[in-house]
Structure 1
Amino acid sequence: MSIYPQLSQEQLLRRLEHPQGKIRMVLDTDTFNEIDDQFAVIYAMKSPERLQVEAFYAAPFFNELSEGPKDGMEKSYRELLKIASILPEMSGIPIYRGSERYLPGPETPVDSEAARNIVERAMASAEDDPLYVVAIGAITNVASAILMEPRIIERIVVVWLGGHALHWPNTKEFNLAQDLHASRIVLNCGVPLILLPCMGVSSHLKTTLSEIEDHVKETGRIGEYLFETYRSCKDNHFAYSRVIWDVAAIAYLIDSKWVPNELVHSPVLSEDFRWSVDASRHFIRYAHYIDRDQVFEDLFKKLG
C-alpha cells in the first residue's frame, strides 16, 4: 500500500492560498481531444506576467477522435508541436509524451516521459517555491508521478479541471471518468489540490463563432488557428455556443477573483462516479463559480 507524506494542516492551507508573484507551472493537456485545450495553451503563453511555463505534457484520451489512450496521447503531442510551430512564445519549452494507457490498478503507475519529468522538476523545486502542475485532461500522468515518487506531494500544487460540481447529480465527467484510479489517487493522497469542476462552474465559459471572429480571428496566425479550430468544430453555428472549459485553470492562476472558491474537504469518489463528503478528510480548494466575462476579456486582450 502506498504511503504518502502528510503535510500538516497549516502547511496544506498555506499551499492552497492563491500564489503571489510569477508562478512556475507545467501544463498537462489532451490537446487534440477538444478545442478548449488549444485556447488554454495559448492563454498560458500569453500571460508571462503571471505564468512561467516550464514544460508541456501530452495526456492520454480515448473517444471518437482516437483509437485508444496511446493514440490520443500521440495526437495531443503532435497538436502541441503544431501550436509551437506558430506560437513564438513556445520556442525552447520542452514538450513530452505522456502515458500510453490508464493506470491498471490503484497503486500501479504508468511510466512515461511526462511522469518522469514531473518528478524531476518537482524534486528540484524548493519547498517554499512549489511547482504548479496544471492538468486539463485525464490525470494519469500526474497520478503516476505521485506513485513513482510520493515526496513530490511536498513540492507541488495540482490545479485540475476535472469532475462536475459537488451538487451535480453525478461526476461522470470526461477528464475524471477516463481513469478512476488516477482520479482517486489525486483526491485521496493529500497533495495540495485546486479543483475546477466542469458542469456547474467552468460550464459558464461559453463563447460563439461570432465572438471569436470579432475578437480572435484577426490577431495573426495564432488567431486564425483558433478561429478555424472553433469554426470546424460544428457544421452549423446558428444559435450555438460552445464551452471553452480549460481556460478556467489558467484564469484561476492569473486572478482568483475571477474564479470564486472555498476550502472544502476532499470529496470521496465512488465507483459509479458520484461525490460524497467525509469531514475527516484533508482540505482542497474548490471553485464554485467563474466570471465568464472577466476571463474572456483578459484572453481577447492578450491575443490582440
Structure 2
Amino acid sequence: MERATLLELPTGRVRAVLDTDAYNEIDDQFAIVYAMLAPESIELEAIYAAPFLNNRSQSAADGMEKSYDEIQRILELMKSTDCMPIFRGSEAFLADQAEPVLTAAVQDLIERARQRDKGPLYVMAIAAITNVATALLLAPDIIDNIVVLWLGGHADYWPHNREFNFQQDIPAVQALLDSNCALFRVPCVPVADHLQISPYELEYYLSGKGPLAEYLCKIFQDYREHEGAWTKVIWDIAVVAWLVNPDFVPSAVAGMPALRADGTWQQVEGRTEIRSAMQVRRDPIFTDLFTRISRAGL
C-alpha cells in the first residue's frame, strides 16, 4: 500500500498488535484493557512483551519477563487468556543495527505484517521501540503494510528528549526513523502528558465495578509517588485512543524531524512525512475508557 495512504487516519475496524512494557509502571495496564474493550475499532491480534530497565527490573530481560507476566495477569482478569496470544520480545536493547536478534514477538510481528490480504497492520508501540525496530531491520519488506503508532520522545521544539521510552533504546529509535515506515507519533510532552488523573477520580469511576477495575485502582494507589495533591499521567492510552476515535487525538502530517547526536530533534527540509499528534482530548478519552470498563463488569 502507498505510504501516503497509510498515513491517512483509519476508518472502521483495523488490525492491530500491542507492544508493551506492561510492568514498567501502571499506564500500560490501562492501555491493554482499553485495546481489548474496543473491538468495534481494534481487532487486536496479539500482544508483545517489551524490555525495560528501571527500579522495577534487574535487567532489560527481567523487565521483559515481568511485562509478560503482567500481560498474563491482565488477560486473566479479563478472562481472555485463551483467545489472545502473547509473545516474549527482546531480552536486550538494540546494540547494533547490523545484528538484530529474532524473538518470538518479532517473528510474529513480521508474519502478521506480511498478511497483506488482510489489510495494513497497526502496531501500537508503547514501550522501548526495540521489538518493532528489530522487525523492521530483519524484514524491511513489511513497510508497505505496517503503520507504527509510537509513543516516544517529546515534541519537535522541546529542548530535550529525556523520556523513558525514547532513552531506553536510542539506536532502535534511529532504526525506526530510518525504516521509512508509515509512522504516527505521540509526543509525550506536551501532548500525552495531559492524560493526568487523580486517585480520587479513578476510585469514583472504577471502585466496585469488578475485579479488573479494582486491580487498576489498586496498582494506581500502590504507585502513589508522594503525599498531598497527586495525579498520574496514564500516557499509553493516547495511542489506543487514536485508533478508537481519531477525533480524540487531533493530528497533522508534517516532515519527520532528524535525530541529533545528543538525542534532540532537528528540523530538516525534505524529510519523509509522518503524522504527529498535536493534542489529546483528555476528558472524552477517560470517559470512554471508564464507560467501557464499567460496562464490561470484569
Q: Same fold (TM over 0.5)?
A: yes
In structure 2, the residue matched to 1:276 is 266
Task: Assess if the C-alpha contact under 8 Å between 1:45 and 1:89 holds in 2.
Answer: no
Q: Secondary structure at the match of 2:149?
A: strand
Asked if 1:93 corresponds to 2:77, the answer is no
In structure 1, the residue matched to 2:251 is 261
In structure 2, the residue matched to 1:46 is 37
In structure 1, the residue matched to 2:276 is 286
Aligned mate of 2:162, from 154, 158, 172: 172
In structure 1, the residue matched to 2:236 is 246
Distance in 1, Cα, partners of 2:217 & 2:125: 24
In structure 2, the residue matched to 1:201 is 191
In structure 1, the residue matched to 2:140 is 150
Map Cα deviations across residues 52-103 of structure 1 (whole Å, 9 max, x no partner): 1000000000111111110000000010111111112454110000000011
In structure 2, the residue matched to 1:56 is 47
Asked if 1:134 corresponds to 2:124, the answer is yes
- Give the AA of the match of 2:278: H
Map Cα deviations across residues 120-164 of structure 1 (whole Å, 9 max, x no partner): 1111233x7101111100000001111111101111110111111
* Number of residues of Structure 1 aligned to a counterpart in Structure 2: 294
Gaps of 5+ in 1: 1-6
Deviation at 1:14, TM superposition (A): 1.1
Distance in 2, Cα, partners of 1:199 & 1:257: 19
In structure 2, the residue matched to 1:3 is none
Aligned mate of 2:220, from 223, 230, 245: 230
Task: Assess if the C-alpha contact under 8 Å between 1:22 and 1:50 holds in 2.
Answer: yes
Task: Assess if the C-alpha contact under 8 Å between 1:102 and 1:110 holds in 2.
Answer: no
Asked if 1:119 corresponds to 2:110, the answer is yes
Deviation at 1:218, TM superposition (A): 1.9
- Give the AA of the match of 1:72: G
With over 3 angstroms needed to count, the CA separation of the structure-2 counterparts of 1:237 and 1:223, relative to structure 1, is farther
Deviation at 1:237, TM superposition (A): 5.0
Deviation at 1:105, TM superposition (A): 1.3
Q: Secondary structure at the match of 1:88?
A: coil
Task: Assess if the C-alpha contact under 8 Å between 1:188 and 1:266 holds in 2.
Answer: no
Map Cα deviations across residues 256-297 of structure 1 (whole Å, 9 max, x no partner): 111111111111112211000112111000001111111001
Gaps of 5+ in 2: none
TM-score by length of structure 1 reads 0.94
Deviation at 1:235, TM superposition (A): 6.0
Task: Assess if the C-alpha contact under 8 Å between 2:152 and 2:163 holds in 1.
Answer: yes
**Percent pairwise identity:** 43
In structure 2, the residue matched to 1:4 is none
